[in-house]
Chain A
Amino acid sequence: MIAHLAAPETADYLTEERGIRSWLLTTDHKRIGLLYTFSVTFFFAVGALFAALMRLELLTPASDLVDPETYNKLFSMHGIMMVWFFLIPSIPNTLGNFLIPMMIGAKDVAFPKLNLASWYVFMIGGCVALYSMMRGGVDTGWTFYTPFSTIYSTTYVVGAAAGVFISGFSSIMTGLNFIATIHGLRAPGMTWFRLPLFIWSHYATSVILVLATPILAITLLMIAVERIFQVGIFSPELGGDPVLFQHMFWFYSHPAVYIMVLPGMAVISELVAAFSRRAVFGYVFVAFASIAIAVIGFLVWGHHMFVAGQSVYSAMAFSVLSYLVAVPSAIKVFNWSATLYKGSVSWDTPMLYAIGFIGLFTVGGMTGLFLAALGIDVHVTDTYFVIAHFHYIMVGGTVMAFLGGVHYWWPKISGKLYPEGLARLSALIVFLGFNLTFFPQFVLGYLGMPRRYAAYPPEWQALNVLSTAGASILGIGYLLPLCYLIWSWRCGPPAPPNPWRATGLEWQTPSPPPKHNFEVTPVVRRKAYDYEGMKEELRLV
């Protein structure tokens, strides 16, 4: 492998072309990754604003800050924004777009114009969804259950569903692009088992993206048809079955949560390796665990419906399969932990986020075991226990991984270094704020506080106040990186090509990289994470 040193006069992907047109018409995967980064940050802020209003409302037992109608719209729009306009695209379309070609030694993705088109489709979907929200919002929950969404709701259901429908095509395009890229554009010598685990996880994610998203599309189409033409596909008037909607919806939405978490796991594999200076323990097992999660993840959707009226026998089948899907996740956590053993563990910010991920994802996963137990689920489903469970995975997991990955690859993406001290402090604030926000919600769920309630019995106020306090701390923890990362882009010290002394082809390029990534196509002869073999190039002793 040839290491390049950055000469100041050499143009990189940021400076080679300038002007707004060169950004809006780019086919460079790195620039598209940055376009997505702006978009998802914006949508995250919108979703976070809705969450802040909800938590403020929940400071008091009565529905006194906003009326119930508004509260219902807040939680619906929070869910829609966060799920489809932040979590699903966050890591794959920002970090994945930027890094996948570089990690496999390619100059771009398989279909660069399709990549750009996917961003425009995503933005159109986001605009349609935002427009529905500004016109008055939607109050069906992000789950759009029928017949409420199709017959009884008086809000902009079709508009919101259309926004999501359109953004789904962006997901499909991205997944298609990644699969074709990983299959076809690997550098000579980059065999499957020499790929970084980031690639394996994103490959699994892409398979789910292309196979599951169409089901969402057709389900949303059907509810639009039902709502517009008032025909009872999922409503009992014509003999339609509302539970059929739930089956179709969750058949997509359960694999969707793996779309949201597998990329997080992809990042964590890289962080744990780099900041232990070790190959991830049990590489092959972690690689296949990603595939197993993707496959088994398609078979467990009914665990969202244990009290929905399906048969006891199908509930049992879904329960046992849900336990099976937990096994590969457990394997990954154990392997990451084992990687630390006798490693050289750095406490840099990305590693802090990775450690936080391991802890919080474990709690989230464990509480998933509770929910998979049929009898337990009867009491805690549709309560704050479920909300806490999935926020531990999505926020304690995916968002932490996203922040960790952004910090890790920040020198490569921006060519600058972020302020380490402030970044570590922010990671700590995020971790503490997160736990204070969501741990009390486990207790609230066990006590019986249902989801989507604007008002609640007074004996639950103390726990709700704790949760809101945590949310304000968490908010500060998110604002700080936003500020110092933007600051560092402009004013930070320049970054060397490989500040972390990590393996991986992306670190063999200048920071920031040139437009076509590699001057010469690399030829790969080493296995993944070959610290021993690369010790001379990385100047390790």
Chain B
Amino acid sequence: MNSLQLLPQSASTFASEYDPFFWCLVVVCGAVTLGIAVFVVYAVIRYRRRREDELPEQIEGNYKIEATWTVIPLIIFLGMFGWGAKTYFDVEAPPADSMKIYVVAKQWMWKLQHIDGQREINTLHVPVGRPVQLIMISQDVIHSFFVPAFRIKQDVLPGRYTTIWFKATQPGQYHLFCAEYCGTKHSGMIGWVYAMEPHEYERWLTEGAAEGSLASTGEKLFHQFGCANCHHFDGHGPCPDLRGLYGRPVVLQNGTTRVADDTYIRECILKKKPAPVAGFADFMPSFDGHLTEDQILALTTYIKSIGPQPGTGQPSSSGTAPKNYGTQRGIAGPGATSNAGTESDSR
């Protein structure tokens, strides 16, 4: 097998945007470095000390030269900043119609969950030509999801969701690495991303032992853990009716408003939210320690999939996720508040 690779594969839309910028930097920085090196080597030879007691011309400085080599680099640097910021926005803002895939990282494996039920360990099958958004969380320490061929990387944190997106452009098999040191088998927490032609991807989806869609798994959990006992779907239960909840703003008892996104729902389940919902008594128990991150994601998907309350005319929120998770924009962290509901500028 080949032991000398010099150029990485380029298999995503972002990689195609990334590489020209990277090589432009190589050329510019290389040219400047070469220029300095050539000048220094020239000066060291041309002005070599000829006599031990030689005293050269004493030149102290020149304001114009200083200004020049301050301002010009500054302008070049700001240009680099601008280009870098643009590419960063592109990779951090998933398109609204992205296909969602959930990723749960744990020491030392990747668990990937497709919405319609396919589970994978250390592999990820995706279709070419469709934007894919990964919603990720860790069960233990910080990991980082890294696919060099796509030029994407995002830390995966315990306790909150992070997200990255990509659109594969070429079918193939691409390395997946964990890029944040996470303990003994950090260098073994690797796998493969398989980008497939769409028809092959559809075929792959129907094969294999899927236990039903993620939402149906969530529905089973909803009953198994007794959520259905309090969260009735007839508007008369002691707890809020969850139909149509996903993506809606919720008013809390302390007066603030949160949008019911993945983060909010997870906080409710784990009893980490700042205040209960206005108008209801607060006796929901905490499921912290009873549910794994996978199960929480299944429940969230189920809640997304149940339709709106009759007569409210609100659209069902299945299949579409809110545009952001409050982590990539605004103030991030536990208890992130109404920033989660800000309009995004995704494309």
Q: Which residues of A contact B330 (CB under 8 A)?
A: 311, 313
Give the contacts of B135-176 with A (CB-CB under 8 A): 140-142, 144, 146, 148-149, 151-155, 157-160, 162, 175
Q: Are A376 and B87 in contact (CB under 8 A)?
A: yes
Q: Are B54 and A540 in contact (CB under 8 A)?
A: yes
Q: Are A341 and B47 in contact (CB under 8 A)?
A: yes
Q: Are B78 and A320 in contact (CB under 8 A)?
A: yes
Complexed CA–CA distance, A499 and B5 (Å): 50
Which residue, B60, B160, B182, B327, has most C-beta atoms of chain A within 10 A? B60
Q: Are A148 and B182 in contact (CB under 8 A)?
A: yes
Does B230 sit within 8 A of A, measured CB to CB? Answer: no
Does A472 sit within 8 A of B, measured CB to CB? Answer: no
Complexed CA–CA distance, A362 and B37 (Å): 9
Q: Are A376 and B40 in contact (CB under 8 A)?
A: no
Select which of B4, B37, B74 is within 8 A of A462 by beta carbon.
B4
Does B233 sit within 8 A of A, measured CB to CB? Answer: no
Select which of A282, A285, A369, A460 is within 8 A of B29 by beta carbon.
A369
Given contacts A362-B36, A459-B5, contact A450 B179 (CB under 8 A): yes
Name the segment of A44-52, A83-91, A325-333, A515-523 touching the other chain: A325-333
Q: Which residues of B contact A456 (CB under 8 A)?
A: 187
- Which bracket fits the contact residues of B? 35 or more
Q: Are A359 and B55 in contact (CB under 8 A)?
A: no
The minimal Cβ–Cβ distance linking B332 to chain A, given in whole angstroms, is 6
Q: Are A148 and B55 in contact (CB under 8 A)?
A: no
Complexed CA–CA distance, A355 and B157 (Å): 44
Main secondary structure of the interface of A (DSSP, over half): helix
The minimal Cβ–Cβ distance linking A441 to chain B, given in whole angstroms, is 13
Does A539 sit within 8 A of B, measured CB to CB? Answer: yes
Select which of A278, A324, A454, A540 is within 8 A of B187 by beta carbon.
A454
Q: Are A307 and B153 in contact (CB under 8 A)?
A: yes
Q: Which residues of B contact A341 (CB under 8 A)?
A: 43, 47, 59
Q: Are B36 and A337 in contact (CB under 8 A)?
A: yes
Complexed CA–CA distance, A1 and B84 (Å): 54
Total A residues in contact with B, Cβ cutoff 8 Å: 106
Give the contacts of A254-311 with B (CB-CB under 8 A): 276-279, 281-285, 306-311
Q: Which residues of A contact B77 (CB under 8 A)?
A: 323-324, 326-327, 369
Q: Which residues of B contact A309 (CB under 8 A)?
A: 154-155, 157, 160, 162, 327-328, 332
Name the segment of A126-134, A239-247, A429-437 touching the other chain: A239-247
Q: Are A72 and B186 in contact (CB under 8 A)?
A: yes
Q: Are B184 and A68 in contact (CB under 8 A)?
A: yes
Does A457 sit within 8 A of B, measured CB to CB? Answer: yes
Q: Which residues of A contact B60 (CB under 8 A)?
A: 279, 281-283
Complexed CA–CA distance, A277 and B65 (Å): 21
Q: Which residues of B contact A279 (CB under 8 A)?
A: 58, 60
Does B227 sit within 8 A of A, measured CB to CB? Answer: no
Cβ proximity bits A337-381 to B, threshold 8 Å, 1 near / 0 not = 110111111110000000100110011001101101111111101
Q: Are B21 and A147 in contact (CB under 8 A)?
A: no
Q: Which residues of B contact A377 (CB under 8 A)?
A: 84
Q: Which residues of A contact B187 (CB under 8 A)?
A: 63, 68, 71, 450, 452-456
Which residue, B8, B18, B74, B153, has most C-beta atoms of chain A within 10 A? B153
Does A153 sit within 8 A of B, measured CB to CB? Answer: yes
Q: Are B55 and A540 in contact (CB under 8 A)?
A: yes
The minimal Cβ–Cβ distance linking B13 to chain A, given in whole angstroms, is 13
Complexed CA–CA distance, A455 and B335 (Å): 39
Given contacts A374-B85, A446-B22, contact A340 B146 (CB under 8 A): no
Does B334 sit within 8 A of A, measured CB to CB? Answer: yes
Q: Which residues of B contact A457 (CB under 8 A)?
A: 175
Q: Are A307 and B148 in contact (CB under 8 A)?
A: no
The minimal Cβ–Cβ distance linking A380 to chain B, given in whole angstroms, is 9
Complexed CA–CA distance, A377 and B81 (Å): 11
Q: Which residues of A contact B185 (CB under 8 A)?
A: 68
The minimal Cβ–Cβ distance linking B15 to chain A, given in whole angstroms, is 8
Name the segment of B88-96, B121-129, B200-208, B297-305 touching the other chain: B88-96
Select which of B153, B162, B188 is within 8 A of A68 by beta carbon.
B188
Given contacts A281-B59, A450-B178, contact A370 B54 (CB under 8 A): no
Complexed CA–CA distance, A298 and B90 (Å): 28
Select which of A68, A342, A379 is within 8 A of B148 by beta carbon.
A379
Q: Are A346 and B49 in contact (CB under 8 A)?
A: yes
Q: Which residues of A contact B312 (CB under 8 A)?
A: none
Does A236 sit within 8 A of B, measured CB to CB? Answer: yes
Complexed CA–CA distance, A279 and B180 (Å): 47
18 A-B pairs in the complex with CB atoms less than 8 angstroms apart:
A148-B183, A281-B59, A283-B60, A307-B144, A307-B154, A309-B327, A309-B332, A327-B73, A333-B36, A345-B47, A374-B87, A375-B88, A378-B153, A379-B18, A379-B152, A379-B153, A447-B148, A448-B177
The interface of chain A, by Cβ under 8 A from chain B, is: 63, 68-69, 71-72, 139-141, 145, 147-148, 151-153, 235-236, 239, 241-244, 276-279, 281-285, 306-313, 315-316, 319-320, 323-324, 326-327, 330-331, 333-335, 337-338, 340-347, 355, 358-359, 362-363, 366-367, 369-370, 372-379, 381-383, 443, 446-448, 450-463, 501, 531-532, 535, 539-541
The interface of chain B, by Cβ under 8 A from chain A, is: 1-8, 17-18, 21-22, 25, 29-30, 32-33, 36-37, 39-40, 43-44, 47-51, 53-62, 65-66, 69-70, 73-74, 77-78, 80-81, 83-92, 107, 140-142, 144, 146, 148-149, 151-155, 157-160, 162, 175, 177-188, 272, 327-335
Identify 14 new A-B residue pairs, CB closer than 8 A, beyond the known A327-B70, A453-B187: A68-B185, A72-B183, A148-B142, A148-B183, A315-B88, A327-B73, A330-B73, A340-B47, A367-B29, A379-B152, A382-B179, A462-B4, A501-B53, A541-B51
